[in-house]
A and B are shown apart, each in its own frame.
Chain A
Amino acid sequence: MEEVQQIAAIDLAPLRIIGAGLVVIGAGIGIGRIGGSALEAMARQPELTGKIQTVMLIAAALIEGIGFAALFAV
């Protein structure tokens, strides 16, 4: 019984780190897409820069929260 528990503990530790890494990659792609799209929108309509920036920051902050939540699982 103890051996089984030990094997489970050994197998899970790297998986958790890999999972956290995947989440961080996802969050990075997400924030990158938000930034890119915001830049395109700003280039197309410079008069809306302020509004776009606000919405961009909120969306980026929300994704960032998920990224940090994954880091805490490690």
Chain B
Amino acid sequence: MFKYIVRIIEIYIFAPILKTINQANNMKLNRTLFSLFISTFFVVTCFGSESDGKDIRKNIKESINHHLLDDHNFTITHGVSFPLPVILYHNGDVDMFLSSKLYGDHSNPIRYQLDEKTYTIDSHGHILGYIAGEEFHPIDFSITKNVVFIMICFILMLFMFVRMARSYKHGHLPKGVGRLLEPIILYVRDDIAIPNIGKKHYKRYMSFLLTIFFFIWIINLFGLTPLGVNVTNNISVTFSLALLTYLITTFTANKSYWGHIFWMPGVSVPMKIMLAPIELLGTIIKPFSLMIRLYANIIAGHVVLMSILGLIFIFQNWIGSTLSFGLAFALSLLELLVAALQAYIFTMLSALYFGAAVEEH
């Protein structure tokens, strides 16, 4: 109770300062924005002081770790969540049920009996099965939170781009969201695809490059919303994206590309034999670095952002929350840049690898 009284006093100390600044600023918009900015500090402070746990640092760590994991429940905010379908495969049997059967009160894991099998969920979010007391690991094809957001991204992209393509039937200018997308598409074509792949072959790769650019960008932007989405900091997602780049590079490469890998022209024979394994390894390391780069960048951004938000709960006073709010705001702006930059780098490097695969000598 005492804490809340202190907050009220702080508001009264801040209010005169706010008033002076308001008088200096005659513009209505500035005033509104500034009041919003200041009031956010206090809202954040009040939320921060509500939870007085014993092990606050441990709680923050757990909460960050939980946020980074994929989830069988789609949680919008504390206590508001949707169950998602769970699809399990084991020894030729497919079991389907809703994830609400695996969670009890306060989202604590419980056991679910299905025929002779019992399913439960462990602390890492993996589903374990038991038949007659014996443990087994079913193959999990569930529609998890990440899959839901990949689907939402897919539907959004389909909607946007089909609409844009249709609007070209009526004239040269696209309508609606297409006006925003057209310069970006032209940028991918003129500044990423053509300089790296070459005018002759670039058209074959354009569909892939555009898809991967917009997919990574949109899904990274989703990750910055308060919905708690984190698709690209799941390594299996970035693995699939990098695998696509690897497969396309491998299957569209010409004779000269393989010649440079297995029998490097222009060097002596012992050197050729030595270079072959190194070059062969290089073909795998390239998509591997693509995978790690995207995954690590996004995961690092999320961890730092959530740690800064965690400062609110450690300090538990207005200095901590103001500092935390300011830093989180600045970092979110940086993350907006990183979201676009990582999409650009992934597309750029993919185009570079495709260019090396179709280069003619």
B175 at the interface (CB under 8 A from A): no
Query: In this complex, what residue of A is CB-closest to B295?
Result: A68
- Asked, given contacts A50-B191, A58-B352, whether A65 binds B292 with beta carbons under 8 Å apart, the answer is yes
B348 touches A69 (CB 8 A): no
B206 at the interface (CB under 8 A from A): no
**How distant is A56 from chain B, measured CB to nearest CB, in Å?**
12
Query: In this complex, what residue of B is CB-closest to A65?
Result: B289
* Chief secondary structure at chain A's binding surface: helix
| Chain B, 334-361, CB within 8 A of any chain A CB | 341, 344-345, 348-349, 352
| Chain A, 15-74, CB within 8 A of any chain B CB | 50, 54, 57-58, 61-62, 64-65, 68-69, 71-72
B292 touches A61 (CB 8 A): no
Cβ-neighbour of A64 out of B191, B293, B344 (below 8 A): B293
Complexed CA–CA distance, A57 and B340 (Å):
13
Cβ-neighbour of B345 out of A57, A69, A72 (below 8 A): A57
Contact residue range for chain A? 10 to 19
Taking CB atoms, residues of chain B closer than 8 Å to A62 are 289
Complexed CA–CA distance, A69 and B344 (Å):
21
A57 touches B344 (CB 8 A): yes
Interface string of B271-302 (1 = CB under 8 A from A): 00000000000000000010011001100100
Interface string of B292-323 (1 = CB under 8 A from A): 11001100100000000000000000000000
Residues of A within 8 A of B (CB): 50, 54, 57-58, 61-62, 64-65, 68-69, 71-72
For this complex, 19 residue pairs linking A to B, each with C-beta atoms less than 8 Å apart, are: A50-B191, A57-B341, A57-B344, A57-B345, A57-B348, A58-B345, A58-B348, A58-B352, A61-B345, A61-B349, A62-B289, A65-B289, A65-B293, A68-B292, A68-B296, A68-B297, A69-B289, A69-B292, A71-B296
